[in-house]
Structure 1
Amino acid sequence: MPNELGRRERRRLEIRDRLYTAAIELIVERGFEAATMDEIAERADVARATAFNHYPQKAAFLYEWGQRRRERVAEVMAAEQAEQLSAGERLRRYLGVLAELNTASRRATVTLMDASLRLGDALREPSLDLKLAELVDAGRAAGEFRSDVDSTQAGTLLAAAYFTAVLRWIGAEPEPFDLPKYLDGMLDMVLRGLVM
């Protein structure tokens, strides 16, 4: 019986992944509003009801896109053993990997970030804020950052700066500035406030 449950779970995850891939492809090709759940289900080769069972709303694909990006950053940082870096350098690398993901898939980032900011919960959902606050908190605990710094506020500030930079970066063609360099400069300013 446990083997059967494992097989069922693997099948469920495989269907969910097909739906996600189909949705992202269609949204990038046609735009968020134009891509329909029926088309997503058809491209993923599943029933419409199955699509809604996995993703009750089309905006759920946007949330998952952001979540998968954060998971990818965590994978890269783990592979690079970033926990051995100073807290400031971990923050720099975290934002740097996000910037690299954005620039490597600019067309997808333009479409999906725009939709996430307009229709999703990118600015209300605190996942990025919390991760950045965690990195700031580690810096406080290690004595690298001021002890009176509010980690939650610092995480919110960094996340807001990130989203503002990306929003400006996706708002013009060709890209108006080098996103990794821009985020790096922004982080330098924030780090001065965290350390002094």
Structure 2
Amino acid sequence: MTSSDVDPAGLGRRERKRRQVRDQLYAAAIHLFAAQGYEATTMDHIAERADVARATVFNHFTQKTGFLEEWGARRRAKVLGILRQEHAEELTVGERLRRYVGELAVLNIESRAETAVLMEASARFGQLLRDPMPEKELAAIIEEGIRRGEVRATVDPGEAGSLIAAGYFAGVMRWTGEEPEPFELRQRLERMLDIVLEGILR
């Protein structure tokens, strides 16, 4: 769970302060990664940028890769929050998956330079391709589709979720790997998803 997942009003003063410091550290790290590169940024740099002691950084993020994991988690949490506000659970499974992938595409497009640095760093140093959460979130949507009779009962939700997640990451990595951008990201991801949906929907 990230600090953005919890309503601050329901927290005590001490926990609010802790989350505020964590948010401060996170913002400092992401700024530095985007400005000077992931490898060139040290925990000391992050502490200096956030104006805290070096030990404070390690109290919240024991390793630099923790910022990469938090970056991915916050993005997914933001997308899930948007879907909840829109009552996306009322959509068909196909439309719900399109909204999920589409909102992630929008986040990437709005911050392409940041995405290029953080996605590459996540692939090289983090858990990008081993993080089970994107697959689990997608699998949960597909499981709901099976219960509703929209998805074929023989479909393995985990495998389908893994396939969509892999297609998403591959598309974003290729999109950020060239200048100028080689294709329109949202359209590419929609075409990828259409191929998967053709195979799993009734």
Whether TM-score is above 0.5 comes out as yes
1:1-196 correspondence runs (5 A): 6-196=12-202
- Report how far residue 84 of structure 1 moved: 1.1
Q: Residue 136 of structure 1 aligns to a residue in which SS?
A: helix
Q: Residue 110 of structure 1 aligns to a residue in which SS?
A: helix
Q: 1:119-171, CA deviations, whole angstroms, 9 ceiling, x for partnerless residues?
A: 10010111101101111111111000100000010011111111111111111
Give % identity.
55
The two structures have a TM-score, normalised by structure 2, of: 0.93
Taking the aligned partners of 2:50 and 2:20, their CA distance within structure 1 comes to 10
- Report how far residue 12 of structure 1 moved: 0.4
- Report how far residue 80 of structure 1 moved: 1.5
Q: Residue 144 of structure 1 aligns to a residue in which SS?
A: coil
Taking the aligned partners of 2:57 and 2:173, their CA distance within structure 1 comes to 30
- Report how far residue 50 of structure 1 moved: 0.6
Q: 1:33-55, CA deviations, whole angstroms, 9 ceiling, x for partnerless residues?
A: 00111110111111000101101
Taking the aligned partners of 1:26 and 1:171, their CA distance within structure 2 comes to 20
Gaps of 5+ in 1: none
Q: Residue 12 of structure 2 aligns to a residue in which SS?
A: helix
> What count of residue pairs does the alignment treat as equivalent?
192
Aligned-residue Cα RMSD (Å) equals 0.9
| Greater alpha carbon shift after TM alignment, 178-187 vs 76-85 | 76-85
Superposed structure 1 runs of 4+ greater than 4 Å apart: none
Taking the aligned partners of 2:178 and 2:85, their CA distance within structure 1 comes to 33
Taking the aligned partners of 2:163 and 2:80, their CA distance within structure 1 comes to 20
Gaps of 5+ in 2: 1-10
The two structures have a TM-score, normalised by structure 1, of: 0.96
